[in-house]
Structure 1
C-alpha cells in the first residue's frame, strides 16, 4: 500500500509488517556470523530456509531495495543485506527515491559522484 500523503512511498504499518514477516526474519538472522556465511555460500538455499516467496527471493537476489520495502521489508532490517555486499546506503537511498546514484548524491547531498 502506498502512503497517501507521500505518493509512491510504501507505508510500513501493521499490514506491511505482517506481509514482510519472512523477509524481515531472514534479514534479521543475518546478524549472526553463521547465517552471513550461509547467505554468501548459497543465497537461494538460505532464502529457502525462511520460505521466501518467488517474488521476495527475486527482490533480495537482485538487490531491488525499493521492491523489498514494497513487499513489507523494514529498511532497518534489510540494511543487513547491504552489509554483506557491501552496498553504500546512498545507493539504497537513490533506489528508494527512484533516482540514479549520481543524481541522488547531487540533489540530496549536494555532492558530485567523483568529487
Structure 2
C-alpha cells in the first residue's frame, strides 16, 4: 500500500517508514551482517553468493552489486545499514552523498564542502 507523501516531503526523496522497512528487510539484514569479519570476507570472495544467502531479489542484488546507493534506499534500504557495504569496498561517504543528491562526486564536493 502506498501512502500519500507527508506534508513537507522532499520530492524524489524516499521516506524510510514502516513500509520501506518491511520492503527492505532482507537487504538491511544482509548489510547489518557485514559487521562480522567472516561475512565481510564472504562478501568480498563471492558477492552474489553472499547476497543469495539473504534471499535478495534480482532488483536488490543489482542495486547492491552496482553500488547504486539511491536505488538501495528506494528499495527500502536503511542508509545507516547499507553504509556497512561502503566499509567493505571502501567507498567515501561523500560519494554516497553525491549519489543521493543526484550529483557528480566532484560537483558535490565543490557545492557542499567548498572543495575543488
Instruction: Report the TM-score, using the length of structure 1 for normalisation.
Output: 0.94
1:65 alignment partner in structure 2 = 69
1:26 alignment partner in structure 2 = 30
2:92 corresponds to 1:88: yes
2:54 alignment partner in structure 1 = 50
Shift of 1:110: 1.0
1:10 alignment partner in structure 2 = 14
Could you list the runs of 5+ residues in structure 2 that have no partner in the other structure? none
CA change 1:3–1:31 in 2 (3 A) is farther
Could you list the runs of 5+ residues in structure 1 that have no partner in the other structure? none
**Using the alignment, how far apart are the partners of 2:5 and 2:28 within structure 1?**
20
Number of aligned positions between the proteins = 112
Moved over 2 A (4+): 1-4
